[in-house]
Each structure stands twice: as structure tokens, then as C-alpha cells.
Structure 1
Amino acid sequence: MESFFKTFKREVLPKRHFKTKAIARLEILNYLEVYYNKKRHHSSLGYMTPLQFELSNS
């Protein structure tokens, strides 16, 4: 989890200032569902995305 939060803080938070909590929630969900799980490669998963990893192990 520490690695995730470090990455999240580096990739999302410095770039944005959220005007409301609702906007922050939407942006965080977008980051997780669109980018982090489907496009971002992870060294711990053999440089696959979490989605690719899950599909290859099903």
C-alpha cells in the first residue's frame, strides 16, 4: 500500500487542486479505473497491467 500511495501522490495530487470532494472522488476513481488498473505497468506483476495480470491468471 505504501508503494501505491507514493505513486498516487506523485502522479495525481501535485497536478491537481480539487474544488470539491465530489470532483476529487471522480478524479481518483478515473485514475484507478482508467489508468492505474488498465494502462499502468507494474514491475511486481512482470510489467503487465493489473487487468492483464488478472486475465492471464484466470
Structure 2
Amino acid sequence: MESFWGRMQTEPLNSRKTWQTVIELITAMNAWLAFYNSKRQHSNTGYMSPDQYEVL
């Protein structure tokens, strides 16, 4: 869980982009979560994305 929060702070939230509204920030965080949960490779699944792991 700590690595998840660390990634969230360094990848989408710590970018040079400034958010005009809270809605923009929430939308960006949701898009990043969708990427993190379905596409990003995880070491505990043998460096497969969760989608690839679920197919096995």
C-alpha cells in the first residue's frame, strides 16, 4: 500500500501541471487509477499487468 501512495504522489500528483478545479484533479486521479489497476506491471504478478494475470 505504501508503494501505491508513493507512486500516486510522484506520478500524477507531483507533475508540473496545475489543476484548475478539483474536478480536473479527480478526473486525472481516476484516469491514473484505471491505468495503475489494469495496465501497469506489478512485481508480485511476475511483472504482468493485472489484466494479463487474470487471464491466466
TM bucket by the smaller chain?
A: 0.7 to 0.9
**Unaligned 5+ runs, structure 1:** none
Contiguous gaps of at least 5 residues in structure 2:
none
RMSD, aligned CA: 1.3
TM norm structure 1: 0.77
**TM-score, normalised with respect to structure 2:** 0.79
Aligned residues: 55
Distance in structure 1 (CA, Å) of the matches to 2:38 and 2:23: 23
Q: What does residue range 40-55 of structure 1 map to in structure 2 within 5 Å? A: 40-55=40-55
Q: Percentage identity across aligned positions?
A: 36
